[in-house]
Amino acid sequence: MARIESTEQLLAQIVAREVTVSETKDKEGEVKKTETLVQGVSTVDYAKAGVNLDVLASTEHVVPIAEAMAENGFFVEAVTGVDWIKDDQMEVIYDYNRMDKEPCRVAVRVRIARSAPAIPTISSIHPGANWHERETHDFFGIKFQGHPDLSPILLPEDADFHPLLKDFKP
Amino acid sequence: MTVPIRYREDETFVLNLGPQHPATHGVLRVKLTMDGEYIVKAEPVLGYIHRMHEKMAESGSFGQFLPNTPRMDYLGALSYNHGYVMAVEQAAGIEVPERAEYIRVITVELNRLSSHLLWFGAFVLDLGGFTPLLYAFDDREKVLDLLEMVTGSRLTYCYFRFGGLYNDIEDDFVTGCREFIARLRSRMPTHYRDLVTGNIILQKRLKDIGIIDADMCARYGATGPVLRGAGVEYDVRKNHPYSAYPEFDFDIPYFPQCDSWARYLVRMEEMEQSMRIIEQALDKLPDGPVNAAKVPKIIKPDDGTYYTAVEAARGTFGIRMVCDGGKGPYRLKLRSPTFSNLSLFGEVAEGMLLADALAVMGSLDLVIPEIDR
């Protein structure tokens, strides 16, 4: 448990908490405030979400988080994307895990614009992210700025399409 | 052992290993820059059997993707099947009966045994020993018969369902399992340990070759026997317990040598542990139903993102699933263990003899359809 708390503090120093408050009036006219997390670290139920910490971050946090995680014994288990076509956004999800007796899984989620999507690479900090980022570029066309080689890894070498985009037509 | 490379740029040549090469165990190509017999640079080229399982998952319902899962790692199919049903059960909040969990563990461990037996045979074959393959396949055949009895297929098992199993096991299966374990136990010392593990030629080919240490594993995200051969006691079954694994008494074998020999020993020891787990599960097998009482026909999990991981025969198989209230996953990312395990090959093969690099590749236990997905 201590590991989860210390990691939460570590990440909270990098990603400042930001919420939007929306007010709704219920039947009796009382004002109800609901908070939506825009950015920040939250502890989630492992049994349901499969991770201990869920981090909503933005592009400038990606590299500082990767550096802090590398220093603290985390490794990158996967990097992937999601195409949120309705919001005109893309999401990049980084899954961090550690190999010792104090289990702590962390998901870092970053939303970026859907047109010309770009995000800094973490492959120089975690070499294991290299192929995962190449794969994400294959499937979504997300540019990982500073990546040494974004040539197709799973798709044919001359592929100029991104099949996991929701508006992809074969 | 690596040697410092002293080569002249104009004296190197490029050697294509694969995509049709028996030592790559599938359709993998490695572009090697060679200086005589030594490797200057190794670059794996993937994607020859890429089938875009992730898009197939998005375009159908949850149930429709189920038969795809065993077709990724066709040698350890049930771990993949297990990982996917667990992911959907976790997201939709479906409870699995205890008997079903026990049978899942028994069949997954049998599958792990068959996968390791095939690896053993193929690995020793790569190194030039033919006979052990026949012994390993003899034993593996028994596992295939047992799994065929319950799942109906010999390789691409799709046995688990959301909330349970396709059908219950019969007494024949239970006695068959016990007979198989007794037989494999009796053959282990002679046909495996004396013949192969104790063989000085094998040891000389593997010891101190292909050093992959804990630091390199962490940098590349390597898991499974590769990580345990680097002296790290990490196994999803113990570190993030799932299914019925907490009920059983078993050890996680790990060896600190970091070489191909350590990875060999880890898998040999894992077979012993799998047999222990199966025996305990058969002894304690509870009665009861094998399917959850209430599983909706159309599964609709809550919106959100979910992560599930299981220990497959080759390492951590992870699923990241994003649901948006539809009939199927909005996004399904399949994190296959050998994709990460192979990504360190370029670094480890540098400065190595070609023949040794092939031994190291064998010790990584690659299954290409799982890398390419």
Nearest beta carbon to residue B221 from set A93, A128, A163: A128
Rounded to a whole number of angstroms, the distance from the CA of A28 to the nearest CA of chain B is 30
Residue B55 to residue A163, Cβ atoms within 8 A: yes
Distance of alpha carbon B149 from its chain centroid, rounded?
Answer: 22
Query: In this structure, are residues B346 and B43 in contact, taking their beta carbons and an 8 Å threshold?
Result: yes
Q: Cβ of B227 and A103 within 8 Å?
A: no
Average pLDDT, chain B: 88
Residue reference for tokens 């909503």: A56
Fold of the B53-365 domain: Cytochrome-c3 Hydrogenase; chain B (1.10.645)
Interface of B with A in 74-103 (CB under 8 A): 90, 93
Residue-by-residue pLDDT tens, chain A, 170 positions: 688 888 877 777 877 777 777 777 777 777 777 777 778 788 888 888 888 888 888 888 889 888 888 888 889 989 999 998 888 889 999 999 988 878 888 999 898 988 888 899 998 888 889 999 999 998 998 999 898 988 888 888 888 888 988 888 87
Task: Tell me what pLDDT residue B60 has.
Answer: 86
How many inter-chain contacts (A to B, CB under 8 Å) are there?
Answer: 100
pLDDT band at B137 (very low <50, low <70, confident <90, very high): very high
pTM here? Answer: 0.88
What's the one-letter identity of residue B211? I
Residues of B in contact with A158 (CB under 8 A): none
Amino acid B262: pLDDT? 92
pLDDT over 60 (residue B1): no
Burial A127-162 (b: 16+ CB within 10 A, else e): bbbbbbbbbbbbbbbbbbeebeebebbbbeeeeeeb
Token representation of residue B307: 């992560």
Q: Which two tokens stand for residue B71?
A: 């077709």
* Sign (positive or negative) of CA dihedral A51, A54, A60, A64: negative
pLDDT-based confidence at residue B6 (cuts at 50, 70, 90): low
Distance from CA of A130 to the nearest CA of B (A): 8
Nearest CA in chain A to B227: A99
Name the residue among B93, B239, B320 with its Cβ closest to that of A80: B320
Give the domain ranges of chain B: 53-365
Domains and their CATH numbers in chain A: 2-15+35-145 (3.30.460.80)
| DSSP letters for chain A | -HHHHHHHHHHHHHS--EEEEEEEE-TTS-EEEEEEEEEEEEE--HHHHS-SEEEEE-GGGHHHHHHHHHHTTEEEEEEEEEEETTTTEEEEEEEEEE-SSS---EEEEEEEESSS-EEE--TTT-TTHHHHHHHHHHHH--EEET-S--S-SSS-TT----TTSTT---
Does the N-terminal peptide bond of residue B19 adopt cis geometry, omega within 30 degrees of 0?
yes
